[in-house]
Structure 1
Amino acid sequence: MVARDEIVAFLNEYLNINAFPDKSKNGLQVEGKEEVERIAFAVDTTLRTIKRAARAKADMMIVHHGMIWGGIDYVTGVTYRRLKALFDAGINLYVAHVPLDAHPEVGNNVQLLKLLGLEPKEPFGEYGGVTIGYIGEFEETKPVEEVAQVLAEKLDTTVKTYEFGVREIRRVGAITGAGGFALEEAKRKNVDLFVLGEFTHANYLTALDLGISVAVAGHYKTETLGVKALMPLVKEKFDVEVFFIDEPTGL
């Protein structure tokens, strides 16, 4: 058993949670048991993930998407149900949203590049005055379709490509989840292929007009990477049991 506050203090420092602007309230969002033995990792905080964690006797959940985005106005509806499930099971809820996207070691964006065999070469994706994504470069150019196939196999998902720019690519920019905000920056930094999680109607039109190729690998799937990379680190440091709860949305 490990003190909850010891784990929280480590995560706060390691993920540097106060360095990033974020609507998410990062850190310990919901307080549960003071001692922790089993930790569930998940992308999202939902009734399904909470109940699965409870059935598995987890004392803590570490997630990318938490419950509190700015604040809680009313404890009714789905907010009440989720909070009640956490309280009933005594589960601590720890959240790392943008800090887990941006982390240089276990972050979603670094891990996405590593799936392609790339190391982060330069920061990319300005968000609230800080950068959260990265650019990597292949030694030799590769077809967009080949890169998309690697992503599809390693993420076990369908990757949709929009070849609005060059089809033989070298420079790859990665921002998981809703990374479309960085399309113009990607063009300025000569990114050949922008890999992101989701792609909106407006993103499509922007990419088309910019002439930049895009690979869309799914918001959920691209953001399993950070929590999965964090798991073994927490396990080794605190000698606790860890497990991943997979609840894909298909989006």
Structure 2
Amino acid sequence: MTTDSPAKPGVAREVLLSTCDHLLQPSLFKDYGPNGLQVEGRPVVRKLVSGVTASLALIDAAIEVGADTLLVHHGLFWRGQDGRITGWMRQRLSRLLSHDINLLAYHLPLDAHPTLGNNAQLALRLGVALLPHEQGRFGDQALGFMGLRSRATASQLAEHAQTVLGRSVLLVGEPARPVERVALCTGGAQGYFEAAIAAGADVFLTGEISEPQAHYARESGVAYIACGHHASERYGAPAVAGYVADQLGIEHLFIDIPNPA
């Protein structure tokens, strides 16, 4: 005769939320959407799944592994979007609600955390030693990070980023340019390039590039590396969720839904 193993005790949703808020300090940021709890599910959290975006594929994957809470970088609700619950929004919300899954989303706070955020985690993987906050931040809301890396060429850094991220990257600028001061701002941060140049960067590394930045790179001499929005932001959510899960004694699993963007 067998008996079911006892369920893990879990933690109250409010405790998880307050722990995340204390760590990420969302009130300090002017953001594009609400940070924190976006969809309310079960009151007790036992299994936390992290991912980059609250896509239908990630929600379904979380349901498959029995998660009761999702923590993501890109949530469901954004400033200025159509408020009607139709199409893709209806599909995602109906899955979350019917399976009683909490959705926590942290956007800019997850980029900005000094050790667990997207910028810091990408810098760690690329071997960039971040400078102290006073010297190592730039741009609006100090979201850009500056650090040092062993002197190399722009093409060598681009090749290293390509290997680390497992995808092709785009380098604009002189491939043989020596680079030491590396500016990072993950995701769609092409608008931070001019601030990175003003801050003394040799190279700017982000997720995306728009038409003007190619000209800025050629004319300023500062190299520009676009690594992909998703690829550059894969590391913050699991770092934060893993840290919080260890603190609270709950299970955590990171699920990466591939995205070519």
- Fold conserved between structures, TM > 0.5: yes
Q: For the Cα contact (< 8 Å) 1:164–1:214, is it kept in 2?
A: no
Give the number of the structure whose alpha-carbon radius of gyration is greater: 2
Q: For the Cα contact (< 8 Å) 1:32–1:92, is it kept in 2?
A: yes
Q: For the Cα contact (< 8 Å) 1:165–1:211, is it kept in 2?
A: no
- Superposed CA deviations along residues 128-173 of structure 1, whole A, max 9, x for unmatched, are xx201211113x4211122122211221121221125871111000
Count of residues paired in the alignment? 248
Is 1:62 the equivalent of 2:71? yes
Aligned to 1:126: 139
Q: For the Cα contact (< 8 Å) 1:123–1:132, is it kept in 2?
A: no
Distance 2:161 2:238 in 1: 16
TM score, norm. by length of structure 2: 0.90
* 3-state SS in 2 of match to 1:104: coil
Q: For the Cα contact (< 8 Å) 2:173–2:224, is it kept in 1?
A: yes
Aligned to 1:46: 55
Counterpart AA for 1:194:
F
Aligned to 2:146: 135
Aligned CA-pair RMSD: 1.5
Distance 2:142 2:257 in 1: 28
Distance 2:218 2:152 in 1: 21
Is 1:17 the equivalent of 2:26? yes
Distance 2:213 2:59 in 1: 33
Q: Which segment drifts farther, 3-12 or 241-250?
A: 241-250
Distance 2:34 2:241 in 1: 21
Q: For the Cα contact (< 8 Å) 1:107–1:226, is it kept in 2?
A: yes
Distance 2:83 2:16 in 1: 29
Q: Select which of 200, 218, 235 maps to 1:208.
A: 218
Aligned to 1:85: 95
Distance 1:84 1:15 in 2: 28
Distance 1:210 1:153 in 2: 27
Is 1:173 the equivalent of 2:183? yes
Instruction: State the percentage of identical aligned residues.
Output: 31
* 3-state SS in 2 of match to 1:157: coil
Structure 1: give runs of 5+ residues left out of the alignment: none
Q: Select which of 107, 110, 115 maps to 1:105.
A: 115
Distance 1:126 1:190 in 2: 12
Distance 1:58 1:27 in 2: 18
Aligned to 2:42: 33
Aligned to 1:223: 233
Aligned to 1:8: 17
TM score, norm. by length of structure 1: 0.94
Distance 1:167 1:13 in 2: 42
Q: Select which of 178, 191, 195 maps to 2:205.
A: 195
Distance 1:202 1:175 in 2: 17
Distance 1:182 1:111 in 2: 19
- Superposed CA deviations along residues 36-71 of structure 1, whole A, max 9, x for unmatched, are 110110000111111111111100000000001126
